[in-house]
Amino acid sequence: MKLEAGQVAVVTGAANGIGRAVAQALCDREIRVVLADIDGDAVAAAADELGPDTLAAPTDVADPHQVQRLADTTLERFGRVDLVFNNAGMGVGGPIWLVEPEDWHRLWSVNVQGVVNGMRAFVPHLIAAGRGHVVNTSSLAGVTAGPFNAPYSASKHAVVALTEALRGELDVFAPEIGATVVCPGPVDTRLLRGATEGIGTLLGAPAEARQGWLGTLTPDQWERLAPGLSLVAQMADEAMPTARAAEIILSAVEADRLYVTTHPSWTTAVSDRVARIVADMEASV
Ligand SMILES: NC(=O)c1ccc[n+]([C@@H]2O[C@H](COP(=O)([O-])OP(=O)(O)OC[C@H]3O[C@@H](n4cnc5c(N)ncnc54)[C@H](O)[C@@H]3O)[C@@H](O)[C@H]2O)c1
């Protein structure tokens, strides 16, 4: 979809990180932006900084009523909506059987239902207008899978599936409307730093300082875990600035690309995974 001055965009998770940078990049193109975030003070400050053609909308994307109100507020204020960025997300990790049910539930409500709520609230308006583009944020963890990241990775796989399904449904209902799933690699945000710095501290700390399930590991188990943790901690070294990630995302919208990533060189992990799936399936009978 061609981005043009005067269009209206909604960005969730817009108070910080990638969402904040996408909002900035849209404002730079004179696109009016509704910034939605669960952190009301931070989103008000972000909207103030970005100027008068913005609106701060405190919203918990996990709540379908709040997201519906976000759509109503957008249309009341600006009279149209062209672009919807379902970007808000959070992280939860750990061994599958040790993550508490309430943590599974909250993560799923935000990362998966949050995207569903965004599509339920806004897609009907895009179809009625006969124009628009939906951008859902997944992760490279949404097209690969690894240990100790199952809640996050599984939720991001769901976002890929949701966006692929949306593309097929729009092909029937409204082919002119675009859909993109964003699969970022490491981008320099609070979310990434929280994960990598926490792991860096853990790797440098004595065994006695390890807490929770990590404190229960035998020396052998720790030896098997630590190399993988080091790789995650090193992701910080390859973190991309948020402004660059935002430009890559907006280019994908303009090119009407279904998939986009910030780190194309990391997609060998995707091809390796797909090759393994196909090889095992072809060998099945
Ligand atoms: N930073 C990375 O390296 C990276 C990599 C892959 C995917 N992602 C994804 O990109 C998206 C943005 O992440 P980020 O790195 O900018 O994180 P961030 O923590 O910097 O920003 C996320 C924003 O979302 C908001 N938010 C959280 N829960 C919310 C909710 N329930 N309702 C509304 N807002 C909520 C937070 O308040 C915050 O402002 C997420 O979906 C994340 O999973 C990030």
Region 136-146: mean pLDDT is 97
pLDDT in tens, 165-220: 999 999 999 999 999 999 999 999 999 999 999 999 999 999 999 999 999 999 99
What percent of the chain has pLDDT above 70?
100
Asked if 200 and 84 sit in the same domain, the reply is no
The single residue of 152, 157, 189, 239 carrying the catalytic annotation is: 152
Handedness of CA 145, 120, 107, 22 (dihedral sign): positive
pLDDT bin (cut points 50, 70, 90) of residue 283 is: very high
One domain for residues 158 and 174: yes
Amino acid sitting at position 247: E
C-alpha pair distances (Å), 38 with each of 56, 66, 192: 11, 10, 18
Same domain, 217 and 197: yes
Q: Are residues 211 and 178 in the same domain?
A: no
**What domain count does the chain have?**
2
**Does 232 reside within a domain?**
yes
Query: Based on the domain organization, do 260 and 210 belong to the same domain?
Result: no
Dihedral sign from CA coordinates of 144, 195, 93, 46: negative
Mutate to test the pocket of ligand 1, among 191, 242, 261 (most ligand atoms within 8 A of CB): 191
Centroid of ligand 1 to alpha carbon of 86 (angstroms): 10
CA-closest candidate to residue 190, choices 84, 72, 42, 70: 42
Residues 141 and 227 in one domain: no
Q: How far is the CA of 18 from the centre of ligand 1 (A)?
A: 7
**Does residue 163 sit in the same domain as residue 204?**
no
∠ CA(8), CA(10), CA(13), 5° rounding?
A: 155
Which CATH number fits the domain that encloses residue 73? Answer: 3.40.50.720
Let me know if residue 280 belongs to a domain: no
Q: pLDDT tens digits for 48-82? A: 999 999 999 999 999 999 999 999 999 999 999 99
Closest-lying ligand 1 atom to the alpha carbon of residue 88: 24
Tell me whether residue 259 is one of the annotated catalytic residues.
Answer: no
Are 46 and 169 contained in the same domain?
yes
* Domain coverage including residue 160: 8-187+240-264
CB 18 less than 6 A from any atom of ligand 1: yes
User: What's the mean per-residue pLDDT of the chain?
Assistant: 97
pLDDT confidence of residue 216 = 95
Sheet with 83-86, edge to edge strand ranges: 54-58, 32-37, 8-12, 83-86, 133-137, 178-182, 259-260
1 part of a folded domain: no
244: in domain: yes
For 229, what's the count of Cα atoms within 13 Å in the CB-facing half-sphere?
Answer: 18
| % pLDDT > 90, the chain | 100
- C-beta 38 within 6 A of ligand 1: yes
Pair (78, 121) in one structural domain: yes
Enter the tokens of residue 253: 């919208």
Q: Which atom of ligand 1 is nearest to the CA of 137?
A: 41
